[in-house]
Chain A
Amino acid sequence: MGVIHPWRLATLGITFLALFVMLSVRLWFLQVAAVEENTIKASANQVQVIYQQPARGEIRDINGTVLAGSRPSQTLQLDRSEVTIEQEEQLVQRLAVLLGVDQSEVRNPINSAASGTVVTLARDISDEVAFEVQEYQEDYPGIEVALTPVRTYPLETLAAHVLGYTGRATSGDLERYGDRVRTDEVFGRAGVERQYDNVLRGTEGAEVFTVSADRSVWQFTEEINARPGWNVVLTIDADVSRELKEALFYSLEISEGLGEQPTGKVAGLVMDITDGSIVAMESIPDYDPNAFVGSLSAEEFEVIQENNALLNLNVRGTFPPGSTFKAVPYVVAVEEDVWPRDLNGPEDGKVLEPKLEFPSFGEGSPQVFTDWNPNHGWTNLHGALVKSADVYFWEVALGVWEDNSLDESIIQDWARRLGYGAPTGIDLPGEAAGIMPDREWRERLHEQNPVAFPNGEWYGGDLMNTVIGQGDLAATPLQMAVSYAALVNGGTVWRPRVVDHFVDADGDVVDRREPAVVRNVDIDPETSAMLLRDLAGVVREGTAAGAFAGSPYLRQIGGKTGTAQIGAFADDVDTSWFAGISPISNPKYVVVIVVEEGGGGSAVAAPAVRRVLEYLLDPATAPQRPTQAEAAIR
Chain B
Amino acid sequence: MTSAVIRGRGLTASAYENRRPDLLLTSALLLLGVLSVLMIYSASAPRAELLGADPAGEAQKQAVIVFVGLVMFAAGSLVGHRTLHTAAPVMYLAAVTALGAVLIWGKEVNNAVSWFSVFGFQFQPSEWAKPAVIVMLAALLAPALENKIGWRRVFTALGLAGAPVALIAAQPDLGTLLAIVVLSGVMLFAAGASLRQLGLLFAGGGIITWYAFNQGWLRLVEERIDAWLNPEQNALAVAFQPLQSQIAIGSGGFAGRGLFEGSQTNLAFIPEQTTDFIFTAVGEQLGFIGGALLIGTYALIVWRLLRTAAAAEDRFGMLVAIGVAALLAFHVFVNVGMTLGIMPVTGIPLPFMSAGGSSFTAMAFALGLTHSIWLHRSKVPARRSSLV
Contacts and interface: CB of A to CB of B under 8 A. Distances in A.
Interface of A: 1-6, 8-13, 16-17, 19-20, 22-24, 26-28, 30-32, 34-35, 37-39, 41-43, 45-46, 210-214, 216, 218
B377 to A, nearest CB: 10
A229 to B, nearest CB: 35
B40 to A, nearest CB: 18
A26 B263 contact: no
A12 B306 contact: yes
Contacts of A8: 189-190, 192
Nearest to A1: B383
A1 B186 CA distance: 21
B299 interface: yes
Given A3-B310, A20-B333, A216-B50, 12 more contacts: A2-B383, A4-B315, A5-B192, A6-B385, A13-B388, A20-B298, A20-B332, A23-B295, A27-B291, A31-B249, A32-B288, A212-B268
Interface string B45-57: 0010010000000
A30 B384 contact: no
B386 A6 contact: yes
Contacts of B378: 3
Interface of B: 47, 50, 147, 186, 189-190, 192, 244, 246-254, 263-264, 267-269, 283, 287-288, 291-292, 295-296, 298-299, 302-303, 306, 309-310, 312-315, 317-318, 322, 325-326, 329, 332-333, 336-337, 340-342, 378, 383-388
A4 B310 contact: yes
B344 to A, nearest CB: 14
B50 A31 contact: no
B253 A31 contact: yes
A92 B378 CA distance: 82
A120 to B, nearest CB: 26
Contacts of A13: 303, 306, 387-388
A38 to B, nearest CB: 3
Contact of A10 (B288, B299, B387): B387
Given A27-B291, A31-B253, A35-B253, A4 B267 contact: no
A31 B291 contact: yes
B254 A31 contact: yes
Contacts of A218: 50, 267
24 contacts: A2-B384, A2-B385, A3-B315, A3-B383, A4-B322, A6-B387, A9-B387, A13-B306, A13-B387, A13-B388, A16-B325, A17-B299, A20-B296, A22-B333, A23-B295, A27-B295, A31-B250, A32-B288, A38-B246, A45-B244, A45-B247, A46-B264, A210-B267, A212-B269
A6 B306 CA distance: 11
A212 B254 contact: no
A67 to B, nearest CB: 48
A28 B314 CA distance: 40
Contacts of B267: 46, 210-213, 218
B388 A38 contact: no
A35 B283 CA distance: 12
B50 A28 contact: no
A24 B247 contact: no
B329 A16 contact: yes
Contact of B312 (A3, A37, A211): A3
10 A-B pairs with the lowest CB-CB distances in the bound complex, closest first: A38-B250, A42-B251, A31-B288, A3-B318, A30-B250, A2-B385, A19-B333, A20-B299, A35-B253, A26-B340
B1 to A, nearest CB: 14
A107 to B, nearest CB: 24
A39 B251 contact: yes
